[in-house]
Amino acid sequence: MSRALNPRRTRRALSSIVRVAAAFALVTCLASPIALGQVYRWVDEDGVTHLSSEKPPPGVKAERIEIPGMSKRSTTKSTGSSSGKAGAASTTASPAVIAQREDLLGRLRTRECVIALEALERKTSGAEPSSATEIRRLKQTSDLNCSQDPARRRQQEEMAAKLRVANSPSCVEARNRLADLMAPGSNAPREQVRVQQTFVDEHCTSPVR
């Protein structure tokens, strides 16, 4: 003859199951690679550079870029159960580190975008020899890394224009001229050096590093 279920015992059992499920979900969330403050960079078989906060596809070798400010103080660790047994430690980035990650990711994508746009302009204008493969690679790189926001995209295009000027022969000559004026033993007037430095800073400084 079956025993009658004890409602109080049943509620305790269900409560324990819920607590265990919640703890498992929390540990799974903390251990998720998406939550970590990391940026990955890799180049695919077409030569296109990819940047992401998520791990690349299996089998793809990627560079892991450290986030500035990532430290023990900016992470939260889960050490497993309280039974005394060693649990697998998991780390999740703090909101501050996640913000730094997104800022770094944005700056790296902008750099790839600007360089691709500038090179694309040179090669499609006939200023340099190129190929259909190279044009396609640059187009894919810009499509992948340039912003979809119209205002931000205009800023990136303006940066590409500044980079084009900074890479021009006139700016190469201007920087060489400044180096000659500042070389040891040069007797160039300080005002001349200042004027040349101002010109280089305003017209010939690359907007990306």
On whether the CB atoms of residues 114 and 163 are closer than 8 A, the answer is: yes
pLDDT of residue 36: 57
Q: How much is the average pLDDT of 108-129? A: 92
Q: Which residue has the higher pLDDT, 8 or 31?
A: 8
Same domain for 74 and 174, yes or no, is no
The two tokens of residue 61 are 């070798």
pTM of the model: 0.66
**Integer angstrom CA distances of residue 112 from 78, 122, 144, 157, 197:** 36, 16, 9, 12, 28
Query: Quick check: 116 and 142 in contact, CB under 8 A?
Result: yes
The predicted pLDDT at position 110 comes to 96
Quick one: 47 and 66 in the same domain?
A: yes
Residue 208: which H helix or E strand, with range?
none
Tens digits of residue pLDDT in 186-198: 999 999 999 999 9
For the chain, how many structural domains are there in total? 2
My answer on whether 138 and 202 are in the same domain is no
| CB neighbour list of residue 200: distance below 8 Å, 6 or more residues apart | 171, 174, 175, 178
Question: Where does the chain show beta strands of DSSP type E?
Answer: 39-43, 49-52, 63-65, 75-78, 90-93
Asked if residue 12 has pLDDT above 90, the reply is: no
Q: Both ends of the chain: CA-CA distance in Å?
A: 80
Is 187 in the same domain as 159? Answer: no
pLDDT digits (tens, 9 = 90+) for 33-43: 443 567 899 99
Question: Residue 45 to residues 50, 133, 134, 142, 188: CA-CA distances in angstroms?
Answer: 11, 12, 13, 16, 51
Q: Say yes or no: 27 and 110 in one domain.
A: yes
Q: How does pLDDT run across 136-166, given as a tens digit for each residue? A: 999 999 999 999 999 999 999 999 999 999 9
Residue showing tokens 């090179």: 119
Q: Is the pLDDT of residue 27 over 60?
A: no
**Domain final residue pick, 148, 167, 186:** 167
**Residue 4 is assigned to a structural domain of this protein:** no
The pLDDT of residue 17 is above 50: no
Identity of residue 196: Q
Q: What pLDDT score does 91 carry?
A: 57
CB 144 within 8 A of CB 48: yes
Span of 5-9, 99-103, 145-149 with lowest mean pLDDT:
5-9
Residue pair 52/44 in contact (Cβ under 8 Å)? The answer is: no
Give the range of the structural domain holding residue 60, as residue numbers without chain letter. 10-79+89-167
Q: Is the pLDDT of residue 14 over 70?
A: no
Q: 43 and 24 in one domain? A: yes
